[in-house]
Amino acid sequence: MDIELKEKEEYIINMGPQHPSTHGVLRFELCLLGEQVKYVIPHCGYIHRGIEKMCEHLTYPQLVHLTDRMDYLSAHINNEAVALCVEKSMNVEVSDRVKYIRTILSELTRIASHQLWWSAFGMDLGALTTFFYGLRDREKILDIFEESTGSRLTQSFITPGGLMGDVHPNFQKRVAEFIKYFRKKLPEYDQLLTGNVIFRERTKGIGIMSKEDAIDYGVTGPSGRGSGFHCDIRKIEPYSAYPFVEVNEVTLTEGDTYARYLVRIKEMWESLNILEQLVDNVPAGPIMLELKAIKAPKGEYYQRVETARGELGVYIVSDGGPSPARMKFRSPNFSNLFIINKLAAGHKIADLVAISGSLDLVIPDIDR
């Protein structure tokens, strides 16, 4: 009798596509039982631009700028993925200088992305202060990017064969300054949010993802590592300058929202360590390979990199022409999104916001 009455109370409600906590145009179809979520169906495609199809009629250096617009918070890393895949196909290797600069830019991107995630995550849970503090520090990184690459968000700086230009002479000095600055400021993040009693109550034990689920759904990046899934591409398949440095993979086994949060905070510390190993040792060398034409020979090529959100794979099918015959991106957010039903079912709506925040979704990367 009781159950029948509850089933009558079920209703379907849309969360999004215009909702501040979905961080973009993503629609969740929620089935609610009072305030409890019975199931979540994510609907995507609201910001589908057909990037994979557009790549087919652009040359390799031209299509790099489209990858900025997928996961716009890891623009440098996306560019690097395409560049590495094309270089792999042509069987060329860039100079050590390019490798070092690429890795420094990637790690700075990772920190900037985690800072913005931390800011927005606090805001999702009702703490507006975090937004100001996170963006204050992110501004320092964006200034470094702006000085060297000319843009703050969609840089298109890393290109097949090298870099679009040399970095600014101040680059290394400013990165070293940033490391010192951010080491002092990062403990504030813990004081403001990590230790906060309301935050802990709202994240501990919420949305527990088992290691098996993470592997089944292909949840990679910090979200997967929060469940003990060793999936750091920087460690498994080191690319660029990662073989030269010591990378410690951050994994936790709890698998709840709080664990995913802690992994990202610890990754910021880890990225600072990697930067510190690289920044003083940038060798001299050419910034661009002298290539006659940037064309992938006939065949199929795959390269994966670790973005701030997980494993990004670039798959090129080439017929030997100047543009790819087929381009496929294995984007981390698409795989990370679809576990949300498993995590959120049975929790309250407010917990769904915390869970989707902890997965750190960037919607244009899901739809591409």
Partner 1 sequence: MAFLKTIREVGKYFHDIYSGVASLMRGMKVTGSYFTRPGSIVTQRYPENRDTLKMFDNFKGELMLIHDENNLHSCNVCNTCARKCPNGSIEIIYKKVEGADGRSKKILDKYVYHLDTCSFCGLCVPACDELALKFDQKFEHAVFDKRKLTKVLNKPGSSSKTTNE
Q: Which one among 193, 268, 305, 339 touches partner 1, defined by CB under 8 A?
A: 193
Query: What is the separation of C-alpha 287 from the centre of its chain, rounded to a whole number of angstroms?
Result: 26
Q: Could you say which DSSP state residue 165 is in?
A: S
Buried b (16+ CB within 10 A) or exposed e, 243-266: eebebeebbbebbbbbbbbbbbbb
Q: Does 192 bind partner 1 (CB under 8 A)?
A: yes
DSSP string, 277-311: HHHTT-----SB---S---PPSEEEEEEEE-SSSE
Of 66 and 361, CB closest to partner 1: 66
Q: Which of 348, 358, 363 is nearest to 40 (CA)?
A: 348
Contact region with partner 1 (CB under 8 A), list: 32-40, 194-202, 214-222, 326-334: 194-202
Identity of residue 297: P
Minimum distance of partner 1 from residue 309's CB (angstroms): 22
Q: Length of the chain, please?
A: 368
Whether the CA torsion 143, 149, 152, 158 is positive or negative: it is negative
Contact region with partner 1 (CB under 8 A), list: 133-141, 176-184, 226-234, 272-280: 133-141
Q: Which one among 52, 56, 96, 147 touches partner 1, defined by CB under 8 A?
A: 147
Of 129 and 253, CB closest to partner 1: 129
Q: Does 142 bind partner 1 (CB under 8 A)?
A: no
Spatial separation of the C-alpha atoms in residues 329 and 208, rounded to whole Å: 28
169: preceding bond cis by omega (within 30 degrees): no
Minimum distance of partner 1 from residue 136's CB (angstroms): 5
Which residues in the 35-64 window bind partner 1 by CB under 8 A? Answer: 58, 61-64
User: How many C-alpha atoms does 150 have within 13 Å on its Cβ side?
Assistant: 7
Of 44 and 55, CB closest to partner 1: 55
- In angstroms, what CA-CA distances link 25 with 15, 42, 124, 364, 365? 10, 11, 16, 8, 11
Minimum distance of partner 1 from residue 368's CB (angstroms): 16
Number of residues that bind partner 1 (CB under 8 A): 33
Query: In degrees rounded to 5, what are phi and psi of residue 282?
Result: -65, 115
Q: Which one among 36, 95, 151, 277 touches partner 1, defined by CB under 8 A?
A: 151
Q: Does 148 bind partner 1 (CB under 8 A)?
A: yes
Q: Does 128 bind partner 1 (CB under 8 A)?
A: no
Of 39 and 131, CB closest to partner 1: 131
Q: Could you say which DSSP state residue 243 is in?
A: G
Q: Does 133 bind partner 1 (CB under 8 A)?
A: yes
Minimum distance of partner 1 from residue 153's CB (angstroms): 10
Contact region with partner 1 (CB under 8 A), list: 84-92, 160-168, 268-276, 294-302: 160-168
Q: Does 65 bind partner 1 (CB under 8 A)?
A: yes
Q: Which one among 12, 13, 53, 132 touches partner 1, defined by CB under 8 A?
A: 132
Minimum distance of partner 1 from residue 285's CB (angstroms): 18
Q: Which of 182, 66, 202 is nearest to 126 (CA)?
A: 202
Report the interface residues with partner 1, using CB under 8 A: 58, 61-66, 69, 129, 132-133, 136, 139, 146-151, 154, 156, 164-165, 168, 188, 191-193, 195-198, 200
